[in-house]
Structure 1
Amino acid sequence: MSSNRACSNTKNNNNSVESPLHMQNQSDAALQHSIGYAREFSTQAAAYHLLKTEEPLVHLHRTIVLLSTKIQPHCFAPTHLELAKFFVDLQALMSALDDESDALWACVALLQHCSRNLEARRAIVEQYCYVPVLSYLLVRTTRPERVHRLMLLLQDLTYGIRIAWEEPYLVVLLEHLVDIVHNTECDASETASPQDDSSHALLALSILVNLCYKNFVVLFLFLRRVNISSFSRRIQHYGLLANKMLIILSQDVHPFEERELHIFLRTSFAAIDECLKQWNVPQLSHIVDFLLDSQCHPRLQRAMLTHTHYCEDIERLLDQIDARSGMDDSSEDMRKHQQLCMDLIFRLVSHVLQLSTKDNSNIISLDAITPRLYELLCCWMESEHCGVAAIELLSILLRVGRRGIISQLIAREPTTVIKLVASTKLADTKPDHVMAILRLLLTLLRESKTEKLVLAEISESYFDNILAAPLALKPELLSKHAIAQSEIDKAIFCLLLLINFANIAKKAYFDKCRELLDKPQLQYAMARAMVSGTEQVASAVFKIAQFEHFPRAAVAKHVANISASGNSNGETPSSTNADAEQWRNLNAILKSHRTLVDKELTQRVNGLIDSINSTLQNHELHNAPVSQVIELYNHRISSLNCAMSNMQQRLEQASAQITRTTQLNNMQNAELELFQSKNFELLISQERLQSQCKDLKQQTDKLKSNMSNLIKDFSESSEQLQVKERRLAVAASEILDYQKRCEELRSSLSAKTEEVAKLETHNKENLTRIEKLKKTVNAYEHDIKEKVRTIEERERDLAKTQKGLEEQREARKKSEDLVSVLEKQLQERKEQIENLEMEQKETEDLRKTIMSLMESKKPKRK
């Protein structure tokens, strides 16, 4: 029941009361409002950079506060040139302000406000590079409450951050965060107050986890500059964060016990529960990705395979989803966050179900909550951001679930599947959504309880509709730019579904399969799927290849052509496997690096010690060459230190230049998009003006012809006017006669009014009589209705009686036929009896005759 309530609440939230046009108008108005404030901010920021006085700073501070209070977070998504310029100006202002300025911390609050929108948050981290600015500000800040605010913001911004090279701010930030962790007492707890040092240590460790997770460069830099053994001992009291950090570092740093990893899993699910309370997408994504990547850590993978509390943990998450869905989630941002969180939850549950299939494990089972999961999935399968994950989870439940619970539920109430099939025919359905539905149909087709449902809902035209995009291309125009990869994947699964149909109903679909597989467009699609498709798509192509009329030669030719064109264009395969292997061999890489460094340092130190010992033994320390060598060596060390500091400065300058170039590039991209949109609008307006010009020319021609016609009509109407004037004079004399008649009619009117008064009184009497008659008529109508009802009942009885009479007549006819047959049989029996009696009589006469003869021949006794 709770899932049904959540489903109804979700539908109410998704189907807003306001019309789409009204919501769009509100959104446009809010965007224009935010653009106005952004322009004002850029103007005041430029004035402050020019004057550097207190007055523009006060106005600037007021505008920043208004931006963080009056403008909703979704308005800061950088979809407009003014907003892109706003983020660039905001970073320049934060770099220019003093650390103790209130305007600077108003900027931090504004940045925290903007980051609540996911698109703005992604732009803040990736496009406008605010993490370095905030990192340097964190190092310079000393007040605890401001440190806490900065670390909270950095924690939020670094969830899922990707860093590909050693940026100069990383060294400073990593050392500062490690110092915070080392300088904190060891009694840290998750419930520390915001101003506690222990809370700062937790936040610092959380930021370190975010920076090192899936960032090989940062992790390598961290391992080079930190004493890992002391750091790992220091953080062992920090619970979930400590376990995450130790898992990221390597399994050799801290050998986990299985009990610790099971506690880590329970704590992770509790953290997911907390994320669902606020629909915190970045943090939830970080936790779920961490659990999904457990195969990189063998002990964590083994712990997940032996964990026995998945059912109650996931049920607790479902309870939280039900409770949270009942709240007011009417805003667009909140609905999007909700759907993204549901997408992550569905992916996690899918991973848990897939773990249950490994090593034939019987430990993991979600059968107890499978019906509840199905109810939840039915509410979200049509959603934009989590529909694909919901459909994938339903497919996994069908394959992995025991006792066919899901197939029974679908067969009992097939409305959801019917809606999904209908949605694939719509033009606005996304290709990945269609592909997920096709995979679900393939799974349903293998179930005996749902096979007939799929066969009944899909016809031949369904496949033509799905394959319309690739079949619309001309065979000579086939290339990877002519058709998208999503359309390729959709066509592959559609073909696989059709072949499965042909295996079930060969007469109806076999010829259709042969006809489609002979199309060069689909042959090219299968070749593209084999070369550049995912593992699922390539597996689907291999299943299609099992069809007896699969065009192997044509597909192989397309594969060769695609591979040759890909090599000529310099394309390289994906480096995902290489990255995974790099992560797995991290310990070996670090050990070999430390070994080489240690050997080199040992050789240099030993050589230096030997040379110094030899000079001491020979008493040649004051000798010029030896002293010059030592001086040269010291000079070399100092020059190397200077070179290193110069390189560090150049690296910082290069990083700042890259940041400015990136921001300039983003602004130019925004300007280019604006120019392209303006150009497109100008082209449309030009075409519209040309069509209006043509229409105006046609209208002028029509007006000229109408003018000539009007002149002709005017000459004709002047003649008619003279005739009408003569008629008017005649009519004036007639008017005098009519006036006399009017006086007579007025006198008759007064007499008629008296008669009308009498008639009105009579009419009132008639009305009272009519009311009485209406009542009697109503009574008669009621009586008639009752009599009609009795007549209908009598007619029904009569119909039943007539039906019984007909049955009796038929029975009588049958009995009469039977009597006639029996009479015929009786007559035959009578004739047989008469014949037998005749024979008996003849036999009796013959017997008497024989007896008499025997008596006559018997000798007489003497």
Structure 2
Amino acid sequence: MATLRNHTSAGGGSHSSNGLETQQDAGASLAIGYVREFRARAAAFQMQRSEESLVYVQRSVALLGTKVQPVHFAPSPGNLELARFYVDLHALMGALENEATEGDVLWACVGLVQHCSLNLEARQAIVESFCFVPLLGVLIRRTRRVERVHRLLVLLQDLTYGIHIAWEEPYLAALIEHLVGIVLGTSDGASASNGGGSVRDDDDDSHALLALSVLVNLCYKNFAVLFLFLRSVNISSFCRAIQTYGLLAYKMLIILSEDVYAFELQELFTFLGMSFAGIEDCLKHWNVAQLRHIVDFLLDSQSHAGLHRAMLSHSNFCADVEKLLDQIDSRSGMDDSQEETRKHQQICLGLVFRLISYILQLSEDGSSTISLDSITPRLYEMVSEWLSSDLCGVAAIELLWTLLRLGKRSAVAQLIARDPSHVVSLVASAERPDTKPAQVLATLRLLIVLLQEAKTEKLVLSKISESYFDKILAAPLALVPQYLSTQSLAQSEVEKACFCLLLLVNVAGIAKKAYLDKCCSLLGQPQLQYCLARGMVSKSEPLVAAVLQIAQFEDFPKAAVAKHVAAISSNPSGLMTQTSAVCGDQAEQWRNLSSILKGHRTFIDKDMSQRVNALLDNIGGILRRNELASAPVSQVIELYNHRIDSLNGAVLSLQQRLEQAGQQLVSGTQLAHVQSAELERFQSTNFELLISQERLQTQCKDLKQQTVELKSNMTNLLKQMSENSYHLQANERRLLVKNSEIADLKKDCDELRLNLSAKSEELTKLEAHNKENTSRIDKLKKSMVAYEQDMKEKLRTIEERERELAKTHKALEEQREACKKSEDLVSVLETQLQERKEQIEHLENEQKETEDLRKTIMSLMESKKPKRKA
């Protein structure tokens, strides 16, 4: 099966990475230059508000949208230029929105926001840190041109995937009302695009789908928005109106819960099929945001009873997952060489792996219709290619763990045993300190499952040692035992320690002689006992289960762990977990309150408010026509109308104050983000200055030490020079003696040269003879190789003849056995034949005797007959 591969090659990796870093640095420098130019142009426009400055702003925006890649718009920590860029862009769009809604510069800015949002980090900053969604929500309400409305809806759809809204922000009510109007065809934009007609065209349908998609994104996992939506919309008419919109309608109705719309099982099956089709479409373009939205929606199916029942009884998961694998395979031939595209690819694969793991977990809930056994080899082949990935490696390891635990276990274990290279590399990476804790944790859980399988047990035992556990447990073992409560240890390190100890306990259960002492010594460490205690009081169910499994070990330090658990529970930090649990209970009560309100239909219906407004208009008309019977009643009604007008004025003022507070909140959020970037930049600069100061101080100390050493070396050198002068004179005298010896040696050298020439001639003769011998040896080797080849063929022929002879012997033995059986059969048949002959003879004798008796009887009867008279 053709699977996606990482596009980085091993050979020439350093050269290509250096070239890529150089290219990225050049692109980042170019981006910073364009960003600074834009900020200067935007500031000039804010000061002058002239046509010339606006043209310069438009040119700068166009350059940012065409010359700078989206990856350079990701606001990294301490990047003050980009933080201020987003603030200035927001302020510029606000200024243009207030003056000229249809201006080309404003829509160039919208296009720039859309260009920046192609990067995931930049999209998150645009939504959460710099609050562009409220600005776009105001802009879409004031836009009338069809193509621009479509453009804004597409941008809002992309930005609101996975958005988190904790409270009813000021822009939400108007935005929800406008989006609902687009869906129902009652908004001003829809009326303008429709030309006042009653028939909806294709643009209206596309706008309605996009608006419904934005509503789904806003309401999904945002209780405040959902509550506002239910209070401001006629739910029954809205549900009737959206039932023709397919997948989006199903999502919206599922979000609104079963109290609003009761699904039939076949409708939910249709929704699941459409969801997998949407996942396929996301994989075609590596659309991370939409794919995460769909996958999270399916993973949260347990919150909707009907959808959960449908997933448990859905029988086409195997075919759906196989289509996803086919779609992933079809991407292998496309160009995914860019770093951003590879990042999106790995995130999408991680989401698909999470979904497949969840489908396998559904089979654990008692569903007999869910099985992926037929595609298990294909799943393993794809997962094994991504086990070491940075972005989807954890999801791939968890899927492999799920396949071993819930899938066709023996088949997966056999595939791992056949090619263990991927698992071996995982085991090796887990002990490295630079490996992410989540990947180490997933690897440890995988090794625990592999250790329980007979086909992979030896593999795990052969690849780990006692030092392996020491390297993984290095962080908790580095704590000081006397001050455990005052030292910080990340929760990820606690999870690593607990699962590492669980693996060690399982290994010690198999190889007691080699690992029992190691297991006992590590469990006796106070640092690890503290980790076990923190695991026991954590809110992670798998972690608590792991600690309970470790507690079944015969030498488990129960008293020490219990002491740490009591200390953690009595600690104020331990009370924080209880507080968080109380907050979780309050959130659960809030959700229950929502269901109660939905069940009793206590929401203010929009139809009711419209009816009240119509009644008030009717009474006002009666008052204006002076058709009331008595003046006091008219005065009461007038007073009542005056009271309503004052209340409406108060409501308007409150709405204005709320909008102003929202704007202040947006500006405050942006300012806080800019100030955090400034603080991070100042801290990094301060840290660099401290490092430079320390480096200069160490250099100064080194230079002082070198000066002292140089002075001592100078004195030593002067002493050595005086001593060397005496040695030099003695050496000169020795040199004269050596010169005379050299003359004698020259004579000896001439004689040796003559001998060398004679020996050289002899050597040439020997080399010629050696060449002849070498050629003969080569010929003998060739003939020897030919003889060996002939012998191999003869041996092969002999082996074949021996096999044939063995077969012949075997056949002969079979024939002999058959012959023996036949002879036995013949003897038995002859015996039977002899018995039959004896029976025949006996019967013939009896027959003869009977015949004789008959003849005797006949003769007697003839003799007794009366003779006839003559």
Q: State the TM-score bracket (shorter-chain normalisation).
A: 0.7 to 0.9
- Post-superposition shift, 1:99? 1.4
1:254 corresponds to = 261
Are residue 787 (structure 1) and residue 786 (structure 2) matched?
no
Where structure 1 has 5 or more consecutive residues not aligned to the other structure, the ranges are 609-618, 724-769, 799-862
- Is contact 2:2–2:332 with CA below 8 Å preserved after alignment? no
Q: Displacement, 1:25?
A: 2.9
Match of 1:461 among 448, 459, 467: 467
Q: Which residue of 1 aligns with 2:564?
A: 558
> Counterparts in 2 of 1:19-418, with a 5 A limit?
19-79=16-76, 80-97=79-96, 98-183=100-185, 196-359=203-366, 361-402=367-408, 404-418=410-424
Aligned 8 A contact 2:232 2:605 in 1 = no
Higher relative contact order (CA 8 A, sep 6+): 2
C-alpha distance in 2, partners of 1:518/1:783? Answer: 75
Task: Determine if contact 1:380/1:387 at 8 Å carries over to the other structure.
Answer: yes
Instruction: Determine whether 1:590 maps to 2:598.
Output: yes
The answer for unaligned runs of 5 or more in structure 2 is 195-199, 617-626, 730-762, 792-870
Q: Write the letter of the residue equivalent to 2:147.
A: E
In 1, are the aligned partners of 2:231 and 2:603 still within 8 Å (CA)? no
SS at match of 1:99: coil
CA apart distance, 1:549: 2.4
Shift of 1:620: 12
Give 1:91's aligned amino acid. Answer: H
| Whole-Å separation in 1 of the counterparts to 2:703 and 2:466 | 50
Quote the Cα distance in structure 2 between the aligned partners of 1:351 and 1:317: 15
Please state how far the C-alpha of 1:506 moved relative to its aligned partner: 2.5
Which of 427, 432, 435 is matched with 2:433 structurally? 427
Say which is worse superposed, 432-441 or 691-700, in terms of deviation.
Answer: 691-700
Of 503, 528, 533, which aligns to 1:522?
A: 528
What is the TM-score of this pair, normalised by structure 2?
A: 0.78
Alpha carbons 2:376, 2:408 under 8 Å: kept: no
* Cα distance in 2, alignment partners of residues 358 and 531 from structure 1: 27
CA distance in 2, matches of 1:596, 1:139: 24
1:698 positional shift: 4.5
Give the deviation of 1:28 after TM superposition: 2.4
Question: How far did 1:32 drift?
Answer: 2.1
What CA deviation, in whole Å up to 9, does each residue of 1:70-110 have, x standing for no partner?
Answer: 11111111111100000000000000012122111111111
Q: Residues 11 and 379 of structure 1 are in contact (CA less than 8 Å); yes or no, is this contact kept in structure 2?
A: no
Contact 2:73–2:122 (8 Å) recurs in 1: yes
Tell me if 1:546 matches 2:539: no
1:168–1:655: 8 Å Cα contact kept in structure 2? yes
Measure the CA separation in 2 of the matches of 1:254 and 1:596: 18
Question: What is the Cα deviation at residue 596 of structure 1?
Answer: 9.4
Amino acid at match of 2:551: A
* CA distance in structure 2 between the partners assigned to 1:627 and 1:797 by the alignment: 128
| CA deviation string 1:292-317 (max 9, x = no partner) | 11111111111111111111111111
- 8 Å contact from structure 1 (residues 74, 117) kept in 2: yes
What's the secondary structure of 1:142's corresponding residue?
coil
Distance 2:604 2:61 in 1: 53
RMSD, aligned α-carbons: 3.9
Deviation per CA, 1:650-696, whole angstroms, max 9, x where unpaired?
11111111111111110111001100110111111112222332344
Residue type at the aligned position of 2:294: I
Question: Matches of 1:228 and 1:13 in 2, distance apart?
Answer: 59
Matched residues in 2 for 1:709 and 1:560: separation?
69
- Residue aligned with 1:39, SS: helix
Q: 1:711 to 1:783 in 2, by over 3 A?
A: closer
Separation in 1, partners of 2:404, 2:107: 53
Partner in structure 2 of residue 2 of structure 1: 2
1:713-752 mapped onto 2 (5 Å cutoff): none
Q: Give distance in 2, aligned partners of 1:449 and 1:339.
A: 30
User: What is the letter of the counterpart of residue 237 of structure 1?
Assistant: T
- Show the counterpart of 1:496: 502
C-alpha contact (below 8 Å) 1:262/1:307 kept by paired residues: yes
Q: Which residue of 2 is the match for residue 750 of structure 1?
A: none
Residue 646 of structure 2 is aligned to residue 649 of structure 1: no
1:512 Cα offset (Å): 2.4
Q: Deviation string for 1:557-597 (max 9, x for gaps)? A: 22222122236865522455654665466342234461799
Q: Secondary structure in 2 aligned to 1:104? A: helix
Shift of 1:554: 1.9
Contact 1:144 1:195 in 2 (8 A): no
- Partner of residue 442, structure 1: 448
What displacement does 1:348 show?
Answer: 0.3
Partners in 2 of 1:427 and 1:711 — Cα distance? Answer: 53
Higher alpha-carbon deviation: 327-336 or 391-400 = 327-336
With over 3 angstroms needed to count, the CA separation of the structure-2 counterparts of 1:506 and 1:701, relative to structure 1, is: closer
Provide the C-alpha distance between the structure 2 equivalents of 1:136 and 1:36, rounded to a whole number of angstroms: 31
Deviations 1:606-628 (A, max 9, x none): xx9xxxxxxxxxx997576x666
Question: Once the 2 structures are TM-superposed, how far is the Cα of residue 702 of structure 1 from its aligned partner?
Answer: 6.2
CA contact (8 A) 2:363 2:371 kept: yes
2:652 maps to 1:661: no
Q: Which moved more, 1:369-378 or 1:632-641?
A: 632-641
Question: Which region of structure 1 is more displaced relative to structure 2, 451-460 or 77-86?
Answer: 451-460
Q: Label 1:790 to 1:700 Cα distance change in 2 as closer, same or farther (>3 A).
A: same
- What SS does the aligned partner of 2:311 have? helix
Contact 2:432 2:471 (C-alpha < 8 Å) held by counterparts: no
2:721 and 2:525 map into 1 onto residues whose CA distance is 71
Taking a change above 3 Å as real, the CA distance of residues 142 and 515 of structure 1, as seen in their structure-2 partners, is: same
CA contact (8 A) 1:347 1:393 kept: yes
How many percent identity over aligned positions?
A: 59
Q: CA deviation at 1:253?
A: 2.3
Larger mean Cα displacement after TM superposition, 388-397 or 779-788: 779-788
Structure 1, 544-553 or 37-46: larger mean CA deviation: 544-553
- Given residue 451 of structure 2, which amino acid in structure 1 is its aligned partner? L
Amino acid at match of 2:128: E
Aligned equivalents of 1:776 and 1:224: distance in 2?
A: 109
User: How far off is 1:697 after superposition?
Assistant: 3.5
Going from structure 1 to structure 2, the CA distance change for 1:775 and 1:329 (only over 3 Å counts) comes to farther
Which amino acid letter does the alignment assign opposite residue 246 of structure 1?
A: L
Residues 158, 592 of structure 1: alpha-carbon distance in 2 compared, 3 angstrom cutoff: same
Partner AA of 1:2 in structure 2: A
Q: AA paired with 1:239?
A: G
CA distance in 1: counterparts of 2:11 and 2:226, whole angstroms: 42
Equivalent residue, structure 2, for 1:726: none
In 1: Cα distance, 2:394 partner to 2:628 partner: 81
C-alpha change, 1:794 and 1:95, in structure 2 (3 Å) is closer
Equivalent residues of 1:261, 1:303 under 8 A apart: yes
How far the C-alpha of 1:254 sits from its partner, in A, is: 2.2
Q: Partners in 1 of 2:677 and 2:423 — Cα distance?
A: 42
**Aligned residue number for residue 484 of structure 1:** 490
Paired residue total: 734
Q: Indicate conservation of the 8 Å contact 1:10/1:379, yes or no.
A: no
Task: State the shift of 1:717 in Å.
Answer: 13
Quick one: distance in 1 between partners of 2:390 and 2:204? 43
CA contact (8 A) 1:310 1:364 kept: yes
Contact 2:529 2:560 in 1 (8 A): yes
Cα separation, partners in 2 of 1:251 and 1:198, compared to 1, 3 Å? same
Q: What is the CA distance between 1:271 and its match in structure 2?
A: 0.5
- Counterparts of 2:201 and 2:83, CA distance in 1: 33
